[in-house]
Amino acid sequence: MPLRIVGPGVKASVIRHIVNSRGLRPLLRDPSPYLLLTITPLFWAGNWVIGRAMRHDMPPVAMGFWRWVLALLLLLPFAAPELWRHRHIVIARWRTICLLGCLGAALFNTMLYVGLQYTSATNGVLFNSISPILIAVLSSVLLHERLNVGQWVGVVISLFGVAAIVCRGDLTHLAALEFNRGDLWLIGAMVMWSVYTLALPRRPMELSAVALLAAMLMLSLPVLLPFYLWEYVTRGGFSLTTATFFALTYYATLPSIVAYLFWNRAVAQVGPSRAGLFVHLMPLYGALLSTVLLEEALRSFHLVGAAMIFLGIWFTTGRLRPESVPRATIP
């Protein structure tokens, strides 16, 4: 399937400007965190759509591995001096940094790309909307934030919405356990992302957003490497064509660097529970991109499932107490 999202007009100077930490700092310092949270899902929705479009051209683990290798190469020239100055912090907090890198980058995105081998991008971005629910539930379990009755009702409603999508509108599939394995991979990926969002306030506060992301990738890519080598031996690699080149270019810049920096800063300012609300913009962006670029059809069970998920989000996260949201700052 031809890739029609990233064109040859992307210039090296634009990419350098995107990853230049001095160029990013004014963007990250002044705008409202809610503006950043509105833009970020658009970049991530594009990642899901490209991942689905490239499923026949690139193996899933290779997608995740080379995405982050290229992103790290772009980041290192700007992050290396700071990482060297704060090497004692990286060494002392390496377990936390590695965990964040695995949960929020290396393994999460690999699971996402595996899931998109078997299910549609439309399904994927709809499943992504369960993460606010997961964040709220895990906040209750791990951070002891209490959920009221209305919030638990929202959890149940959203789960029914997910079931409607997984079962393609036929609940008898639940009894027969006829799940699309791609859907299950995506749900597992959402669990990992939710835990990452909750763990993010525990990041080393001494590191800037650029240095933190570089450190996360440096420590988590070795965890992904054995899976990549196994896939290469059993399935083979991929050819560097125009489509794969521009797909990797997109992967390594907007969803990998810019979106993560925007997300990390916004979560630090407004807390994970409020930030999680904006994830439900991805179905809107993703459905539009998938319909236009991949010619995927929106069906009635998509609409019903999405409506139930959004209603559950309103019940579950629309009533969060402001004092219950953990806060942090990004330098």
Distances (CA, A) of 270 to 136, 154, 310: 14, 22, 20
What pLDDT, on the 0 to 100 scale, is given for residue 91?
A: 95
Rounded to an integer, what distance in angstroms lies between the CA atom of residue 175 and that of residue 270? 41
pLDDT of residue 328: 32
Q: Is residue 236 within 8 Å of residue 288, measured between CB atoms?
A: no
**What residue spans define the domains of the chain?**
32-321
pLDDT of residue 92: 95
Nearest to 217 by CA among 84, 32, 316, 90: 90
Residue 198 carries which side chain, given as an amino acid letter? L
Phi–psi pair at 116, nearest 5 degrees: -70, -10
Contact 1, 56 (CB under 8 A): yes
pTM above 0.75, yes or no: no
User: Residue 319: how many CB atoms within 10 A of its CB?
Assistant: 12
Res 129: pLDDT: 67
Other beta carbons less than 10 A from residue 12's beta carbon: 8
Q: Are 255 and 47 in contact (CB under 8 A)?
A: yes
Q: 83: burial class by Cβ within 10 Å (0-12, 13-18, 19+)?
A: buried
Q: Which two tokens stand for residue 321?
A: 């107490």
The helix/strand/coil state of 75 is helix
pLDDT at 44: 85
Q: Cα 317 to chain center, whole Å?
A: 19
Q: Say what the pLDDT of residue 171 is.
A: 59
Residue listed under structure tokens 């090296």: 12
Q: What is the spatial distance between Cα 329 and Cα 15, in angstroms, rounded to a whole number?
A: 27
Question: Phi then psi for 232, rounded to 5 degrees?
Answer: -65, -40
DSSP structure class, residue 239: -
Task: Tell me if 319 sits within 8 A of 182, measured CB to CB.
Answer: no
Helix (H, G, I), strand (E, B) or coil at 325: coil
Phi, psi of 209 (to 5 degrees): -60, -40
* Residue 272, pLDDT score: 72
Q: Measuring CA to CA, how many Å separate 116 from each of 40, 74, 162, 315? A: 20, 26, 16, 29
According to the model, what pLDDT value does residue 5 have?
38
Angle at 25 between CA 19 and CA 30, to 5 degrees: 135
Render each residue's pLDDT in the chain as its tens digit; 331 residues: 434 434 444 444 444 444 454 445 555 456 778 888 888 888 988 888 888 888 889 999 999 999 999 999 999 999 999 999 999 999 999 999 999 999 988 888 899 899 988 887 767 766 776 776 777 778 777 776 676 777 677 767 766 776 666 566 665 555 544 557 888 888 888 888 888 888 888 889 899 888 999 999 999 999 999 999 999 999 888 988 998 999 999 999 999 888 878 887 888 887 776 776 677 677 767 777 777 776 666 667 667 776 777 777 677 655 444 434 333 322 2
